[in-house]
Each structure stands twice: as structure tokens, then as C-alpha cells.
Amino acid sequence: MGRKGWIIAAVGIVLIVGSIIALMSLTGQARYRNMQGPVGVIKGPLPQNGFLGVGFATPHATGPAKIAEVIVGTGAAEAGLREGDEIVLINGVADPSAAVVQRMTVTTKPGDMFPFRIRRDGQEQDVSVRLISFQRMLELGEAERRNRQSSPQSATGPTTTQMQTTMPAAAAP
């Protein structure tokens, strides 16, 4: 690369870095911070199906659906679900992935009871969760996020749990 090529590359880098700095200044994001909470784009009307109110450790991976977070105030919390529980059987499907669990909620509605089997500490047990609406899940998630921000624990460092809503991508299992 000749002298002219190096100059063009340097100018490009300066423009990119300058744009990033300007964007961070304008948005108030001038320091590194982990993003937390439900993040998504919804096109069209709000989903009308029921939601468990849990976050999965690996929402897009295959393998067992392992619960990473339970939103306080949801049917999942009332049913006693906890972080680390694995969903091992749902609607006749053994060891479903998080995506399978999400697709199974497509035909439900808020208020429905959603039965499945979990594994906790090597023991299996049947549970039934009353599903909540998408709007209620957002409200509870926001309240929980505000509570975490105001608690002294949040000052010690970022949390690593990332909330994944149970919004299915397709209706087929």
C-alpha cells in the first residue's frame, strides 16, 4: 500500500473513532456498561400469547432449557421456579431447548396454566405455571430492573443474566 493508501486508511479510522465518540457523547453512553434486560424489536401488534416470565441461560442454543432468571411477581415465581432449574419434559417432548419451550407457548393465552416437568438438584418434579401477558411481563421486568439499580448490590458490578422473553419466532415446534 502506497502513501496515499495509508492516508486514506488513517482518515477512515479517525472518522470511525470520531463518530463513535460523538454517538457516545450524544447518547450519554460515554463509559462501558453491560446491557441488561429484555431487548427486542416487535413488528406488528403485541403478542397475545401467554409468557412464562423466565429468562433462559441459552435462549437460542440446543440442549436443555435451563432457567437463568425468574421475574418476581410472575406465575413462574409463584410456582417456585428458581435459577438453575431445567425443563426436562413439556407436552411429551423430553429435554426441550429454550426455543421449543418458547414455541409451545404460541397457542396459549395469559391466564392459562402451563404444565411441565423440571429437574432441580437431581430430582424431577411437575409444576404448573399461570402464564402472564406480554404487557405484564414488560411491567414486571422494568420494575425488577429499577429495583436492581437502586439496590446496594448493583453498585458492586454488572450482573451477567440476560433476560430472554418467551417470544417464539415460529409457530411450529
Q: How far apart are CA 11 and CA 9, in angstroms?
A: 6
Higher pLDDT, 136 or 164: 136
Average pLDDT over residues 40-49: 74
Min mean pLDDT across 24-38, 64-78, 112-126 is at 24-38
- Write out the three cell numbers for 106: 404460541
Backbone torsions φ then ψ of 31, nearest 5 degrees: -135, 160
Query: CA 67, 37, 160 angle in degrees (round to 5)?
Result: 60
Min mean pLDDT across 30-39, 94-103, 106-115, 116-125 is at 30-39
Q: Other CB atoms closer than 10 Å to residue 132's CB: what's the count? A: 22
Residue 115: CA atoms inside 13 Å, Cβ hemisphere, count? 4
Beta bridge partners of 116: 127
Share of the chain above pLDDT 70, in %: 73
- The domain ranges of the chain are 1-31, 54-152
Position 58 scores a pLDDT of 77
Collapsing DSSP to helix, strand or coil, 3 comes out as: helix
- Write out the three cell numbers for 118: 423440571
On the question of pLDDT at 34 being above 80, the answer is: no
- Write out the three cell numbers for 38: 429484555
Position 76 scores a pLDDT of 93
Return the CATH architecture of domain 54-152: Roll (2.30)
- Write out the three cell numbers for 136: 405484564
Collapsing DSSP to helix, strand or coil, 166 comes out as: coil
Residue 82: which pLDDT band, with cuts at 50, 70 and 90? very high
CA trace torsion 13, 17, 22, 24 (10° rounding): 150
- 24: CB partners within 8 A, 6+ apart: 30
